[in-house]
Amino acid sequence: MKYTRKVVLTLVAFAVTLSVFAQDIHFSQFYMSPLNLNPAMTGVMNCKNRFIANYRNQWAGALQANAYNTYSMSYDQKTPIGREDYFGIGGTLWSDVAGESRFGTTQGRLSLLQ
């Protein structure tokens, strides 16, 4: 009975750790990266095209060459449909490199909005 309980708890703990993501991107001025903030903001702007590039270097004073670096680029545009409506299409690419181990993630996302 105790052995079965340990096995079940171990399997549950293992399954939980498979779905945990410990690293996500952070920008000081997060509102300047609207597609990372909320993909539903694709095409929500006062112009037709928007290109945004963000960079953050965190802990550079303490870690020097091993600082945490985050890069993000996004592009979106809106295409008019009729008189009042529009269709938004955009994409985001970001990369994050952390510390001395140089552990990093890179992701790209496509967003569509009508």
* Within a domain: 30: yes
Does 20 score more than 70 pLDDT?
Answer: no
In a domain, residue 17? The reply is no
Token pair recorded at residue 47? 């112009």
pLDDT attached to residue 62: 78
Could you give the maximum distance between any two Cα atoms of the chain, in Å? 69
Q: Could you tell me if residue 50 is inside a domain?
A: yes
Residue with tokens 């496509």: 110
Question: At CA 87, angle to CA 82 and CA 94, rounded to 5?
Answer: 165
Mean pLDDT confidence for 35-47: 89
Q: Which two tokens stand for residue 18?
A: 């498979």
Whether 64 is in a domain gets the answer yes
- pLDDT given at position 28: 74
Residue predicted with more confidence, 36 or 53:
53
Confidence of residue 30 (pLDDT cuts 50, 70, 90): confident
* Model confidence, pTM: 0.70
> Each residue of 62-104: pLDDT tens digit?
777 788 888 999 999 999 998 889 999 999 999 988 878 888 8
State how many domains the chain has.
1
Q: What is the mean pLDDT of residues 30-34?
A: 83
Is residue 11 domain-resident? no
In a domain, 39, yes or no: yes
Asked if the structure places residue 8 within a domain, the reply is no
Tokens of 73: 């680029």
Give the residue numbers spanning the domain of 82. 24-113
76 closest CA partner among 88, 85, 86, 62? 88
7 domain-assigned: no
